Amino acid sequence: MANKLDAAAVLSLCVVLAFTLAGQSAAAGRYYGDKVQDTVRKEVEKAIAYDRSIGPALVRLVFHDCWINGCDGSVLLDKTPTDGTNTEKKAVINIGLAGFQLIDTIKQQLGPNASCADIVAFAGRDAADILSGGKIFYTIPGGRKDGVVSSAKVADANLPESTFDFDQLQNNFNARGFSVEELVVLSGAHSIGVAHLSSYQDRLGRADSTPIDPDYQAALNKTTPLSLLQKGQNPTVPNNVRDETAAFQTDAAYDPVAMGVSPEKIVLDNSYYHNNLVNKVLFESDWVLRTDGDAADKLEEYKENATEWHSDFAAAMVKLSSLPAQGKNFEIRKNCRVTNKQYYY
Ligand code: HEM
């Protein structure tokens, strides 16, 4: 009897291992035959294998870099001649931005062979590939140049806020040539990563103005009550209820499998659309996509058709990663955190 049980346990372990390895190998080991891209790839694979949470940070970094002055590595700067130390990183909107040390590590290996802006774009691309199990993959050229300005004020004024209503989101995306469809497709990035309490505090007490599922809201209030902010604490929770603990999911009446969502955590997939359509998304800016007819149709479409979302997300990331750098002085920085010169004319 004991032997039979042991054999069954070994067999199920093998099955679990085989599935795990299959999932990992779908995206692992994708190389490009190009020194810059291969170096980025190797380091991103290593970093995600060590700590998967670096992956969402890298995807977000592409958005926050390219949305401000185009893709110019401005988000990485600690100091510039015109902005001093009040750079984009210091913007309130950039709370939680991460991945800077990994970008430094990659830059140290590549030296003048790659701009910091290219490293950000390639690292985000590889993170999306790995976190989607190889389902989101796109090619993008190199050749981006690094900018020499980076202003916290400009970032705060131009990146979308989690309290935006639909018109504000639409205007913000249109200003950079992105459609409502692309807004909906890119918002699916919130299937991964985390958010600070300060970023979703408006969702904890105002259920009437921005509908949020009451069980999900109660679970959030239980784990991260608003009172923590008054005590000077600002904890994080997963953006995706799928990535919450089992206890949280019980409180939130969320059963991923019953919802048709894969329970595997920190996976970039279309679970965001399943969750949004039952009001179990964190930000007001996520939920408000339901208030526009075209956007709501797209939410349904991406919920039903994961393959379509994977390919539309990849296409939108290509467009995002290609936003041209703006300004008059460009260079390939020696160190991603500072400009090469002290003055530019
Ligand atoms: C549509 C407008 C958007 C708004 C209002 C928004 C807002 C936010 C906020 C408030 C956070 C949490 C920050 C914190 O508290 O730490 C966040 C996290 C994140 N966002 Fe967005 N976002 C938007 C679009 C996007 C886009 C276009 C992408 C990428 C394509 C993206 C990717 C992410 C990722 C991956 C995270 C998690 C980062 C991490 O865990 O390190 N977001 N977003």
> What residue spans in the chain does CATH classification 1.10.520.10 cover?
34-159+323-331
Under CATH, to which class is 177-319 assigned?
mainly alpha
Ligand 1 atom 34: residue of nearest CA: 60
The ligand 1 atom nearest the CA atom of 164? 5
The question of whether 274 is a catalytic residue gets the answer: no
- Residue 29 confidence (pLDDT): 72
Does the Cβ of 55 fall within 6 Å of ligand 1?
no
Ligand 1 atom 41: residue of nearest CA: 57
Largest CA distance in the chain: 82
Query: Comparing C-alpha atoms, which of 274, 261, 264, 191 is closest to residue 24?
Result: 264
Average pLDDT, the chain: 92
Cα-to-centroid distance, 141 and ligand 1 (Å): 24
Does the Cβ of 200 fall within 6 Å of ligand 1?
no
- Chain segment 315-326, per-residue pLDDT in tens: 999 999 999 999
- Chain segment 242-283, per-residue pLDDT in tens: 999 999 999 999 999 999 999 999 999 999 999 999 999 999
- Residue 21 confidence (pLDDT): 39
Cα-to-centroid distance, 1 and ligand 1 (Å): 52
- Residue 303 confidence (pLDDT): 98
- Residue 65 confidence (pLDDT): 98
In the CATH hierarchy, which fold is given to the domain comprising 34-159+323-331?
Peroxidase; domain 1 (1.10.520)
The ligand 1 atom nearest the CA atom of 160? 5
Does the Cβ of 76 fall within 6 Å of ligand 1?
no
- Chain segment 82-122, per-residue pLDDT in tens: 999 999 999 999 999 999 999 999 999 999 999 999 999 99
Q: Is the per-residue pLDDT at 207 higher than 60?
A: no
Tell me if 118 sits within 8 A of 126, measured CB to CB.
Answer: no
Q: Is the per-residue pLDDT at 288 higher than 60?
A: yes
> What residue spans in the chain does CATH classification 1.10.420.10 cover?
177-319
The ligand 1 atom nearest the CA atom of 162? 5
CA atoms within 13 A on the CB side of 158: 18
CA distances from 18 to 24, 261, 267 (A): 10, 21, 18
Confidence category of residue 30, pLDDT binned at 50, 70, 90:
confident
Ligand 1 atom 2: residue of nearest CA: 160
Cα-to-centroid distance, 67 and ligand 1 (Å): 12
Q: Rounded distance, CA 345 to CA 343, Å? A: 7
- Chain segment 125-182, per-residue pLDDT in tens: 999 999 999 999 999 999 999 999 999 999 999 999 999 999 999 999 999 999 999 9
Does the Cβ of 338 fall within 6 Å of ligand 1?
no
Q: Rounded distance, CA 345 to CA 335, Å? A: 20
Share of the chain above pLDDT 70, in %: 90
- Residue 211 confidence (pLDDT): 81
Share of the chain above pLDDT 90, in %: 88
Q: Is the per-residue pLDDT at 202 higher than 80?
A: yes
- Chain segment 272-282, per-residue pLDDT in tens: 999 999 999 99
**Residue scoring higher pLDDT (44 or 4):** 44
- Residue 188 confidence (pLDDT): 98
Does the Cβ of 188 fall within 6 Å of ligand 1?
no
Q: Rounded distance, CA 22 to CA 36, Å? A: 27
Cα-to-centroid distance, 60 and ligand 1 (Å): 6
Does the Cβ of 95 fall within 6 Å of ligand 1?
yes
**Residue scoring higher pLDDT (31 or 6):** 31
- Residue 26 confidence (pLDDT): 57
* Pocket mutation for ligand 1, best pick of 100, 164, 201, 239 (most atoms within 8 Å of C-beta): 239
